[in-house]
Structures are given as C-alpha cells and as structure tokens.
Amino acid sequence: MPKVRTLYFTAPKQVEIKESDLPALKTDEVLVETICSAISAGTEMLIYRGQFPQLADSHDAVSSDLHYPLAYGYACVGRVVELGKTVHKEWKDKLVFSFQPHTSHFIAKTESLFPIPDSLSPENACFQPNMETAVNLVQDGAPILGERVLVLGQGIIGILTASLLNEFPLESLVTVDRFELRRNAFMVEGQKSKVKSLTLQDLQPATFDLVFELSGSPAALNDAIELTTFSGRIVIGSWYGQKHAPIDLGGSFHRSRIKLISSQVSTISPELSGRWDKSRRFDVAWNALERIQPEKWITQRFSLNEAGKAYQLLDENPQETVQVVFGY
C-alpha cells in the first residue's frame, strides 16, 4: 500500500501535509488514487483563517463540528486502482468524483463514488460540488422570463451561477466583482455571454428583480438590498462564518417587501423536495459541467506539497485568482 499524503489545517493560517499508512482494503471497498482536487476558496478560507463557527448540525457531515487539526475539502477526482474482493470488476480504472479532503489516496465504498462522464476531463469534474451549489442557487432564485438579475461576487460560485443564468431568457444579467480578473471571467475564449460585468458605482438603486449575494462579504447584503426592486428576491449563498457587518433594515427595506432567501446546497428547498432529490440535482450539475466546461477558469495549479503557497495566495492576493487546483 502507498503512503497517503493529506492536507491538514492545523491552526489559523497554518497547513501541513501529513503522511500515513493506508489500512487494508475491506472486501466492499476500493482504493482511489487522486488526480486533482479543487480548493473551495470561500469555505476553505474560513477554515484557513479560523473564521468558521462551530456547527453541531450543518445538515452535512463535511461542515459539522469543525476544529483543528482538520482535513477539509470536498472536490476530489481520482482513478480506482484497487478493488476489494466483492467489488465488481467494472470499477477498476474508473475515473470517479468523491467528496473527500485534499489527499493523495483514499479508501471508499462504491456508493460514495460518482463515475465521471466520458465528456469531462478530471479538472472539469473537480467543479462538480460548486456547480451543484450553483444549480441549487438558481433553483432557489427561480428566475422568471424577462427579469433583471444581478450576481454580486464573481468567485467561482458566482461565475458558475452566472453561467447558468446566462442560459435563461432574461431582460438583463449583470455581474459585479471588485477584482478585474473576475469581472473579465466571461471574456474567456469559447464563452458566449450576454453578461454585463459592471461595478457597484455603475448601478442604480431598486433596479433588479432577483439578486444573488455570493461575494462572501456580509456588508454586501446592504448593496443587495439597495439594488433590489420592490417585492424582489435576494438569494444569500455566501457563508459568512464568523464575519459580521451591520445590515440596514431600518430604511427603505421595511416597506420594500423584499424576500431574503437563505440558500445552501446540503438541503433542497421544501417547495422542490416533493419531486427533486439530491441525485436528480447532481445529474443536472453533471450536464451543466458538460455544457460549460469550467476548467477554463482555473488560474493556478499547485502540487499538494505547495499547499501553503496556494492558501497564502488566496489569502493575500485573491485578485490574482479565480480557481485554484491541486495536482497529485
């Protein structure tokens, strides 16, 4: 069995690669050798900076009871290299996605693995959990024909959400980000786009029917409220962690009938859960990845041994990044 190298967050702004031995495979398990894994910058920077709250019940095993030292991550793509005795031979050499931390190898049962469609490269498949999040956000926002829609924040969640919204017959779709690199994300080759990328200063108050707050900054919720029209909706997809900001609900908001919608991918909206489950939503995300091919938004690739540099870059110079990926 090979030595396993796994990334651990050990304290605020400290990461470490730890080596360990793999246990023997059980009869119903497989060994996966990781090809690449994507950093989920919003959530993982909360972990890196020590800004995560203690969530005893977060509706998902990944984000419950967080404490250092912590192996964290959930966007892992690899190849099945060894089978337990009772596992069907069709799994051998299969390319799979799994919700795993950043690690060179992992052992899993096949029910926790998702075969990757042949049309997707491993790096495209790394975007699966973020694309599922984007699908969930759009479903919760429920855009209507001819609406004016705004996406605040063009990190990878914002970009993927805007990519899906770009497929809708909207009157207008506007994105905002303070970083020029992210504002220009839709100008990459092969991306047909109706998106207008603007700054907050370009926008008029009470303009948009539907606003997605995906910046990760709690203060941006004030901007979202100001820019949303009477009876509009604001979908809050950011996880602010322990970051706080005063929110002005004492002005025009009180009479605005604006709806604030909390959106997080670990559950499905009760309005949809009668006919939608996570499996169906996951399939929609795979199809969206095939259409959009988001690996064009990878801006940096690091080896796992360079993890400290990767998180330092995201922490100190986020204006230089869109998506950061580890290769193994």
What is the chain's alpha carbon radius of gyration, rounded to the nearest angstrom? Answer: 20
Q: Residues with Cβ < 8 Å from 20, sequence gap 6 or more?
A: 3, 4, 6
Label residue 56 by pLDDT band (50, 70, 90): very low
Residue that is last in its domain, among 262, 294, 310: 262
What whole-number distance in Å separates Cα of residue 171 and Cα of residue 31?
A: 49
How confident is the model at residue 29, as a pLDDT? 97
Decide: 39 and 92 in contact? Cβ < 8 Å: no
| Tokens (6 digits) for 173 | 């779709």
pTM value > 0.95: no
On whether both 249 and 145 belong to a single domain, the answer is yes
What is the Cα 325 distance to its own chain's centre? 13
pLDDT in tens, 295-327: 999 999 999 999 999 999 999 999 999 999 999
| Tokens (6 digits) for 86 | 């009772």
Residue 60 clears pLDDT 50, i.e. is over it: no
On whether both 135 and 101 belong to a single domain, the answer is no
Type of residue numbered 220: A
Closest CA to 261 of 217, 225, 285, 215: 225
b/e per residue 24-58 (b: at least 16 CB within 10 A): ebeeebbbbebbbbbbbbbbbbbbbbeebeeeeeb
Residue 138 clears pLDDT 50, i.e. is over it: yes
Domain count across the chain: 2
- Phi-psi bin for 50: left (phi > 0), alpha (psi -120 to 50), beta? left
On whether both 104 and 148 belong to a single domain, the answer is no
Question: How far are the Cα atoms of 75, 180, 183, 195 from residue 198, in angstroms, in the given order?
Answer: 30, 10, 7, 9
Residue 37 clears pLDDT 80, i.e. is over it: yes
Residue 313 lies in a domain: yes
What domain range is 52 assigned to? 3-128+283-327
On whether both 48 and 59 belong to a single domain, the answer is yes
On whether both 136 and 253 belong to a single domain, the answer is yes
On whether both 140 and 258 belong to a single domain, the answer is yes
Mean pLDDT calculated for residue range 246-274: 92
How confident is the model at residue 292, as a pLDDT? 95
| Tokens (6 digits) for 236 | 């809050």
On whether both 141 and 258 belong to a single domain, the answer is yes
